[in-house]
Amino acid sequence: MAPPVTERWCLALILLFLSLFVQSSTAIYCGAEDCYALLGVAQDANASDIKRSYYKLSLQHHPDKNPDPESRKLFVKIATAYEILKDNTTRAQYDYAIEHPEEVFYNTAQYYRAKYGHKSDPRAVLVGLLVVLSAFQYLNNVARYNEAIASVKRTPAYKNKLKALELERTGGVTNKKKGSKQIDQKLQEELSNELDLQIKGAEKPSVWDLLGVRFILLPYTIIKLLVWYSSWVWRYKIKKAPYSWEDASYLTRRSLSVPADAWANLDEYRKEDLVQKRLWEKQNLENYFAEMRKESKRRR
């Protein structure tokens, strides 16, 4: 049974499409010409033969030697063929395209990769990328921090702290002269620098947090992590020693998924209470969450 007309048309279009690509996959190098034929050498010719033939043909067809327009066009083709065959990589790709014309997309990708791919040292590219990203990261962190500081300085709590610090500095004496309601700008800047502003999510920018610096310190970080993990296994898995306060705090914080800065802002009594509950043990953690849910319902 013959296929329907629509299927035959689709099949014909697919074949036409593939045929166009097959032609282009071999023609992208020297057009419709054969690169070896343009230089008058065999496919197995060595580099010296190719170079010798190119120089001979270029002298014959160079525009300065031969003003014929057709000769000028031929010279361009010869130069293109030589650029392809003088390089071992592009020559190997061209030979592969001749032997495997059915691998259309692979041959095309290899050609454009060799032609337009960057020739830079990957290490230099990596260093440049890290420098650019680190610069943008630092500028972004500075902008976020300054914006957060400006926002905090507009709050009543900050103004009250500033006023209290001014009274402490002046011994409780305030300037009540007309027009002196606002703190002197210079004094305000001095007092602001004395206040320790801890802003969650907008910490003061540091070069140690930059991507480039962290990448450079990556080997040290990995070694430090391995040493820490080995020490942890030795003390708590093998020797079965009791957890130190720092390690117990770390386990508690990790069990509760509390960020390090949030944990640091907790009062010492609250920290001690949580650590003593041994929340890194699954049953204790489940009991703690159950108690928290009951407490939440009771308050409602």
Does residue 20 form part of some domain?
A: no
- Does position 181 have pLDDT exceeding 50, yes or no? no
280's CB contacts (< 8 A; 6+ apart) are 248, 251, 252, 254, 255
What is the span of the domain harbouring residue 153? 123-173+180-205
Same domain, 64 and 108: yes
Q: Is residue 112 domain-shared with residue 34, that is, in the same domain? A: yes
> Is position 266 within any domain?
yes
State the total domains in the chain.
Answer: 3
Residues 60 and 105 reside in one and the same domain: yes
Q: pTM of the predicted model, to two decimals?
A: 0.47
- Tokens representing 280 are 């890194």
Give the pLDDT confidence of 96-105 residue by residue, as tens digits. Answer: 888 887 777 7
**CATH value at residue 70:** 1.10.287.110
> Domain for residue 2, yes or no?
no
- Structural domain includes residue 9: no
Give the least confident one: 103-107, 111-115, 149-153, 227-231.
111-115
Residue 232 has a pLDDT of 93
Angle value at C-alpha 185, between 179 and 191, nearest 5 degrees: 120
Residue 29 lies in a domain: yes
35 shares its domain with 110: yes
Average pLDDT score over residue span 9-13: 59
Same domain, 137 and 195: yes
Contacts of residue 61, defined as CB under 8 A and 6 or more positions apart, other chains included, come to 71, 72, 74, 75, 78
d(CA 90, CA 105): 16
Over residues 40-74, the pLDDT tens digits come to: 999 899 999 999 999 999 888 888 888 888 888 88
Compute the distance between CA of residue 191 and CA of residue 169 in angstroms, rounded to an integer: 9
